[in-house]
A and B are shown apart, each in its own frame.
Chain A
Amino acid sequence: MLFHGYGPLLWAGTLQTLGLAMLSLAAALVLGLAGAAAKLSPNRALAGLGACYTTLIRAVPDLVLMLLLFYGMQMVLNDATELLGVDQIEIDPFSAGVVTLGFIYGAYLTETFRGAFLAVPRGQLEAGQAFGMSAWRVFHRILFPQMMRFALPGIGNNWQVLVKATALVSIIGLSDVVKASQDAGRSSLDYFFFTLVAAAIYLAITTLSHVLLQRLEKRYSAGVRTLAS
């Protein structure tokens, strides 16, 4: 048999990895939009908070933050549950992964969105207002669609890095594709083969993402002329 009977284990791990990556991306997109809004806001306190967020996250390694949140949050929770006299709540690796990865890549996406918002010509927003559009309508008809075109390459890059960062969550015990490959390697004594399989799965995910992202970028760039090369 091709995977010595470990096929289903590896498949379950792959699904776990993909689920983690997608949920983290969703969290990061929300945090990124909020962060960009904060950094661009005329309110000095909000802008300062946004600046702190992005600087801090980019200075501290993702693994340190993940372990800090995983172990640190657990202790805070334990204290809280003890104080309230209720049963202990265990943080599972999956939620810890989504929270940390979403928090970290939210900071990177904040920068992406900030740049993209600034790249939309102001005159177009003013034209929208002059037409009597409400602030919401200006946002979702003019600002957002154009901003997405500038933001897409950045979102794509972050997605690719995020997919690879999910491998770290196996360190805190998530049964993702890395953990599945190591378990299979331990029982079959063929670490080399199963680690290669894990690498191949990641390579397939990043390659597929690359193809899809290029299509998406083409779609959002409709109406932009490029020089034939």
Chain B
Amino acid sequence: MIELIGTYWRAFLYSDGYGSSGLVITLWLLAVSLGLGFVLAVPLAVARASRRRWLSAPVSLYTYVFRGTPLYVQLLLFYTGIYSLQAVHDHVWLDRFFRDAMNCTLLAFVLNECAYATEIFTGAIKATPAGEIEAAQAYGMSRYTLYARIILPSALRRTLPAYSNEVILMLHATTLAFTATVPDIMKVTRDVNAATYASFQAYGIAALLYAAIAFTLIWGFRRLEARWLAHLAPRAH
């Protein structure tokens, strides 16, 4: 195992000699899926929690489809499925976008992550105490101010425990990227396995790397919870 690390640590961490690989790519996949997923999920969750059906129905159809099918199938659809359509080849911009494996992977990851985040945020928005909303309305707040000052800050804090779980699951999901030839930790692991036949050691290193990322994330979320959810902690006597 030590020899393996000595030979391949660069590929596992940041570069395989041709370009970025390993940990850097995994973290990039994770950051983009979480970042874009979050930005899209907040407005979608507001729409999903809306009482107007023409706003909430399309969003719930979207989350239903993306949460009801495996991410691997979604990735296959975006990576091989769409690019096999003639219409995509004929269109210059679509062709350029879908030819790149990284684009397809990120598209599938972002759409999937966004669907789960939307459901988590919707639950929290709906659970906002009615009294807080009435108080805000009594103060004459507009709908925008109501969401920006009262509902979203409180709802997003309350989602932290569920959202941190989702972040760990997204980290686990990034392991699928290698099936679309993206050189993440898994791709490096498989290359090392093919080159050395030391399966147990190669996958063992990958497992340790992923566990290290997961524990760091969990530690970070614990600190955030201690700070932002202090008002929900049981009272100390």
Bound-complex Cα distance A90 to B199 (A): 16
Identity of the chain B residue whose Cβ is nearest the Cβ of A207 in the assembled complex: B68
Do A165 and B207 touch (CB < 8 A)?
A: no
Bound-complex Cα distance A192 to B86 (A): 11
Do B207 and A64 touch (CB < 8 A)?
A: yes
Identity of the chain A residue whose Cβ is nearest the Cβ of B207 in the assembled complex: A60
Cβ of A212 to closest chain B Cβ, rounded Å: 15
Do B72 and A168 touch (CB < 8 A)?
A: yes
Do A61 and B210 touch (CB < 8 A)?
A: yes
Do A56 and B211 touch (CB < 8 A)?
A: yes
Residues 203-219 of B, flagged 1 when their CB comes within 8 A of A and 0 if not, give 11011001100110000
For the complex, is A191 an interface residue (Cβ under 8 Å from B)? yes
For the complex, is A117 an interface residue (Cβ under 8 Å from B)? no
For the complex, is B179 an interface residue (Cβ under 8 Å from A)? yes
Tally of B interface residues using CB under 8 Å? 37
Residues 161-181 of B, flagged 1 when their CB comes within 8 A of A and 0 if not, give 000000010011111100100
B81: chain A residues within 8 A (beta carbon): 185, 191-192, 195-196
Bound-complex Cα distance A199 to B69 (A): 6
Binding site secondary structure of chain A: helix
Binding site for A on B (CB under 8 A): 65, 68-74, 76-77, 80-82, 84-85, 168, 171-176, 179, 186, 189-190, 193, 199-200, 203-204, 206-207, 210-211, 214-215
For the complex, is A198 an interface residue (Cβ under 8 Å from B)? yes
B215: chain A residues within 8 A (beta carbon): 59
Cβ of A182 to closest chain B Cβ, rounded Å: 7
Residue from A61, A63, A64, A171 having most chain B Cβ neighbours under 10 A:
A61
Binding site secondary structure of chain B: helix
Do A61 and B203 touch (CB < 8 A)?
A: no
Bound-complex Cα distance A192 to B65 (A): 16
The 3 A-B pairs of least Cβ separation, nearest first, read: A71-B199, A167-B70, A61-B172
Bound-complex Cα distance A185 to B204 (A): 34
Bound-complex Cα distance A166 to B72 (A): 10
Q: A59-B214, A61-B171 are in contact. Are A71 and B77 (CB under 8 A)?
A: no
Identity of the chain B residue whose Cβ is nearest the Cβ of A169 in the assembled complex: B72
User: A185-B81, A207-B68 given. 16 additional CB < 8 A pairs?
Assistant: A58-B168, A59-B210, A59-B215, A62-B175, A63-B186, A64-B186, A64-B189, A64-B207, A67-B190, A67-B199, A68-B206, A76-B200, A164-B71, A178-B72, A191-B81, A192-B84
Do A165 and B70 touch (CB < 8 A)?
A: yes
For the complex, is A72 an interface residue (Cβ under 8 Å from B)? yes
For the complex, is A190 an interface residue (Cβ under 8 Å from B)? yes
Do A167 and B72 touch (CB < 8 A)?
A: yes
Do A195 and B172 touch (CB < 8 A)?
A: no
A113: chain B residues within 8 A (beta carbon): none
B189: chain A residues within 8 A (beta carbon): 64, 67
Bound-complex Cα distance A198 to B77 (A): 10
For the complex, is A159 an interface residue (Cβ under 8 Å from B)? no
